[in-house]
Structure 1
């Protein structure tokens, strides 16, 4: 049976030109497509919507792509992006209003309070609103930094309109909204405790011109962004891009990004861990954090091995050296038992 969202998207596709004229009025029809600058209805030629086609599938009427950002979807997604709606339910309500369809019967009312700002519950709700990063600005951002092969990582998501509050923002003023890369912070059991946000500039696919362009919310202490299945060995380090870079060149190595030097020093280690690789940032805080984590790991009977970059961190190495040379740099730093295990499948 077709879902409610699928049925609404199909109906919108049958009225694709009318949808575009209403929500993307600054665009124009060109052959079988509606052309406009972006989902915000900016004049231009970057975003194009198919006006005619099949009722479903890749060539369906209503499918759209923004060539500048790589974003794509159906007309339900487009309405959500255009109006900056925060949930699928809001997008469905708006689409039903446009199509003059009756609204569904409301479910029994449940009293719920807003999640406290910055709380783990607020982080959980934000991450749930994200989408996989494949084909999005977030994937382009990581690609510009040399990071590949992570488009299906479940701990990463993309949010097209993530609120940003400046430190000096006037009381009562609406926050800015920028696209953002979301990274899920979890505890040892995989429970979400927080979210790390990197706001992005859609014009350049780099970090947004904000100060700072990254923030974390929720409960971070002892936890981190975990990528890869739990194993008897893991690599831990500070920055998200640093650890994604290691994951790019050593795809069989599970990694944890603790997101700061202080949080790396306090990282809670799995009880069944046998060997810990510590990605050391080449600054005083990074060295001190690695010293503290090494002492804690060895005190728990875990072998600790430091991985030292040639430059400031492993993302700088990846961009400067490339994947093959970075693997060659890492090879002599790995435990002999891990060389074939970690490098054989990566071509090292």
Structure 2
């Protein structure tokens, strides 16, 4: 259970996820908090006394600049790790491919990710959000961030595998949820459509 503070006042307690965001050298960057609904499997809806809808994902207290870091959810396997923006996105990527994953909190921090030493990482999978096109730039912000990271990591000598959801406007959490629900509805046929472990849709 986590306390939610707003304007220096405690609004209440909600179940939540507490994640350690680590910098490349292992120092703590921040503790990322995600507040959950106590009844349904969803994020909480938290409203201030004056009616403001509050953010249910917080990392407002940082010990050090966050550039380069990630939440290290799993251990790399065979020199491979996958990275993406949010917790749900990378877990969706893991469920789709069995590649162990870390999350970087957002697309800006994803583009700044630095592979830490000491893990033997040689291959980095990037699970990009397939955002709608930004009318100002004519580009998908999530894809742009992933491609920027890929370009830099390749220049540093890493093998990079890019993954993008099939449908624009979705991320890997959406894609895995859709596939899972379809398999629940269709039984054996739905399960036959599931990808084999470590089979990645890459480009």
Q: How many residues align?
A: 170
Counterparts of 1:304 and 1:238, CA distance in 2? 16
Q: Which has the larger radius of gyration?
A: 1
Counterparts of 1:327 and 1:183, CA distance in 2? 29
Q: Which among 73, 98, 113 is matched to residue 267 of structure 1?
A: 113
Deviation track 1:202-252 (CA, whole Å, cap 9, x = no partner) reads 12232110321111242432111112223421111101011122233444x
Q: Which among 190, 193, 198 is matched to residue 34 of structure 2?
A: 198
Instruction: Name the Cα RMSD after superposition.
Output: 2.5
Q: Which among 157, 160, 171 is matched to residue 313 of structure 1?
A: 171
Partner residue of 2:199? 331
Partner residue of 1:304? 160
Deviation track 1:25-73 (CA, whole Å, cap 9, x = no partner) reads xxxxxxxxxxxxxxxxxxxxxxxxxxxxxxxxxxxxxxxxxxxxxxxxx
1:307–1:330 contact (8 Å) kept in structure 2: no
Counterparts of 2:71 and 2:162, CA distance in 1? 19
Shift of residue 270 of structure 1?
A: 3.2
User: 1:163–1:243: structure 2 CA closer, same or farther, 3 Å change rule?
Assistant: same
Q: Which among 71, 84, 94 is matched to residue 225 of structure 1?
A: 71
- Structure 2, unaligned runs of 5 or more: 47-53, 132-139, 184-190
Shift of residue 294 of structure 1?
A: 0.9
Q: More relative contact order in 1 or in 2 (CA 8 Å, sep 6+)?
A: 2
1:226–1:254 contact (8 Å) kept in structure 2: no
TM-score, with structure 2 as normaliser = 0.73
Q: Which among 285, 291, 303 is matched to residue 141 of structure 2?
A: 285
Counterparts of 1:332 and 1:209, CA distance in 2? 35
TM-score, with structure 1 as normaliser = 0.44
Q: Which among 196, 214, 219 is matched to residue 57 of structure 2?
A: 214
Deviation track 1:263-321 (CA, whole Å, cap 9, x = no partner) reads 00001113543211110101122111112101110110111111111231111011101
1:318–1:326 contact (8 Å) kept in structure 2: no
User: 1:164–1:279: structure 2 CA closer, same or farther, 3 Å change rule?
Assistant: same
Greater helix proportion: 1
Counterparts of 1:329 and 1:233, CA distance in 2? 14
Partner residue of 2:134? none
